[in-house]
Structure 1
Amino acid sequence: MGKWIVSGLSICSLVLLTACSTVPRSQDRFVDEPGQATRRIHVVSHGWHTGIVVPSDVATTYLPDLEKRFGSVPFLEFGWGDKGFYQAETISAGLALQAMFWPTDAVMHVVAVPERADRYFPHSEVVSLCVSDAALASMMQFVARSFVRNADNLAPSQNGLYGDSQFYAAVGDYFMFNTCNTWTATGLYEAGVEISPHLLTASAVMRAVADAAEGTAEVEDSAGQAAVFAACR
């Protein structure tokens, strides 16, 4: 009997997982050209949640509504997550269990970042990567596909969690195997970063990003940073 129960639960899990709508990836993975990395992006871990910080001049090319909302800040942080859990003022066990075990609606969280991410988020883990313009464009196409649109406009909901920030309706369902960190990993994967798009936890994402950065994380706050990112703007 126990064997049948386990099998039934496994089948149910597979059905729910395959029914979980995700932001579509490109059919052909982007492969960056060596020596073309000139744009700096940041990956931020706020503990359980990760996000991607990109230059706003590129982000607003794909999402012009954000320039109207945030103005000419140098960077924007993007995160994706469960609508109820992410926006809740008070986190309950019920919200956490619902987000984990049942596909739920998602939201995008966008934050104006007025300076370099490691300075703006001093209590968060930050890893910087240099990518090419083409890689950044590929990633931003994925990010742009993550937003729900109403008559070609973004669909804002409530104010964000910190700083100058905003929630927007998002594409996809949040689920145990489709988390905020899976979204971050997929976005980086779309930019040609050597990372699995199936990572579930913030720590796994940050380890993979640090490996991809080839040691640049260790000099992020050192005098050697200027040399490492000399060609990276």
Structure 2
Amino acid sequence: MSRIFIMHLFTPFLTQSICIIALLSTSLAEEKPIHLANTGWHVGIILPVDNVLKRNLPETRDFPEAKYLEIGWGDRRFYQSNDPSMDIAVGALFTATPSVVHVYGFKKPVEAAFSKAETLKLEILDKDYSNLLRFIYGSFVRNANGAGRSLGKGLYEEGTSQFYEGTGNFHLFNTCNTWVADALKVAGFNINAQGIITANNLMEQARQTAKRAN
């Protein structure tokens, strides 16, 4: 039996086997749920606390009881103010200002913790999740030991939220919602971050992305 005939005989079988393996690899690819929380003016990213997050985001240790972390980025003065004035808001938009990262750790199911906000669930592949975590990690100004520089208590009750010094500047074309859009784009979602300023700009694209995935 000639070598050419043998190759001709087994080529269809090998091709079919490769296709089956490729399909199995795709179907077996691990996906992880993440959420967006839209409070009306600001969107945060919600991540489940697991060993992957603990290994890749040192700030997880600051919230030992949390099952989820909600992470947001924004203008330092506006975000940290209990009663932000119009002057602070205008200054944040039209002047490049220092940024801050806010982390909120909570135990309740996402929908219960953010019952007054719009939440959107997205599925993300493991490899893309790694990219997302690298993006978030890089949004913190870090000490020599790799820990984020704490700026004190966050927006919620003691022990559940904290501010950290952020990297990058906030301005009209780089808002809290632009930051989330950039994070999603890095994570493989079909998001165009250009022109995203408001929460509504972002959520319109995110909803379409979620629909296409389903």
| RMSD between superposed Cα atoms in Å | 1.7
Q: Residue 186 of structure 2 aligns to which amino acid in structure 1?
A: E
2:99 is aligned to: 106
1:50 is aligned to: 43
Partner residue of 1:61 out of 55, 60, 63: 55
Give aligned pairs, total. Answer: 184
**3-state SS of 2:102 partner:** strand
Q: Is the 8 A contact 2:35 2:121 kept in 1?
A: yes
Of structures 1 and 2, the one with the larger relative CO (CA 8 A, separation 6+) is: 1
1:73 is aligned to: 66
Whole-angstrom CA distance in 1 between matches of 2:172 and 2:88: 13
Q: Residue 201 of structure 1 aligns to which amino acid in structure 2?
A: T
Shift of 1:82: 0.1
**3-state SS of 1:172 partner:** strand
Shift of 1:131: 0.9
Partner residue of 2:204 out of 200, 203, 207: 207
User: Percent same amino acid at aligned positions?
Assistant: 35
Shift of 1:134: 1.1
Shift of 1:53: 0.3
Partner residue of 2:147 out of 139, 142, 153: 153
| TM-score, normalization by structure 1 | 0.75
Q: Is the 8 A contact 1:59 1:76 kept in 2?
A: no
Whole-angstrom CA distance in 1 between matches of 2:53 and 2:175: 22
Shift of 1:118: 1.5
Q: 1:40 to 1:147 in 2, by over 3 A?
A: same
Shift of 1:46: 0.9
Q: Residue 160 of structure 1 aligns to which amino acid in structure 2?
A: G
Q: Which has the larger radius of gyration?
A: 2
**3-state SS of 1:157 partner:** strand
Structure 1: tracts of 5 or more residues without a match = 1-32, 217-227, 229-233
